[in-house]
Amino acid sequence: MPSRWRRTSTRGQSLVELALLLPILLMMAGGATDLARAYQAQLTLESAVRNAAEYVAASSADQATATTDARRIVCLESRPIPGFAAGPAPAGVEACTAPNVSVSSFAISTTAVGATTRNPIGSARVAGSIGFSTLVPWPFLPSGLTLSADATYSVVRGR
């Protein structure tokens, strides 16, 4: 008789434990999801900025072309990032409004070590940033985070 009474009196224990632990488990799952999204977005932005710096250093002719080329490459490669905003038609994706892209330095040098007039050294520094918002409003984080990346690339051109 006592074992039967003990069994029936603990029927609600599992439900109470679930009710107490479920919010904690959901917060952990939400945190893992937000962390994974932010990490993926950061890697994508870094890769896009690095590829843009490489292309600009190897192919662009002047600062204006370098800025246009860098924006086009970063915009095309950063489409999967949360917060990406395509630009107006007809350019759309190639002229995105987010992420922000800037070419802080661009130079083609024939006087640097290893450079010749036939094979100048091109160098570029490209920076990009984008706003990132989490799926879960975390009380200890600001409402919006900014992910940023910066890459410098130098290459001997014309080889």
State the Cα–Cα distance between residues 139 and 125, nearest whole angstrom. Answer: 36
Query: Following CA atoms 64, 70, 72, 75 in sequence, which dihedral angle do they give, to the nearest 10 degrees?
Result: -140
User: Which positions ≥6 away from 36 have C-beta within 8 Å?
Assistant: none
pLDDT of the residue at 91:
79
Q: What is the pLDDT of residue 109?
A: 95
Report pLDDT for 90.
86
| pLDDT at residue 2 greater than cutoff 80 | no
Average pLDDT rounded to a whole number, residues 83-94? 88
Q: What is the pLDDT of residue 7?
A: 56
Least confident of 5-9, 76-80, 110-114: 5-9
Instruction: Read off the pLDDT of each residue in 74-97 and give the average, rounded to a whole number.
Output: 91
The edge-to-edge listing of strands for the beta sheet with 121-132 is 100-109, 121-132, 145-156
- State the average pLDDT over residues 30-57: 95
Q: What are phi and psi of 80, to 5 degrees?
A: -75, -5
Range of weakest confidence among 4-13, 45-54, 66-75: 4-13
Instruction: Tell me what pLDDT residue 150 has.
Output: 97
φ, ψ for residue 138, nearest 5 deg: -85, 135
Instruction: Output 54 or 133, whichever has higher pLDDT.
Output: 54
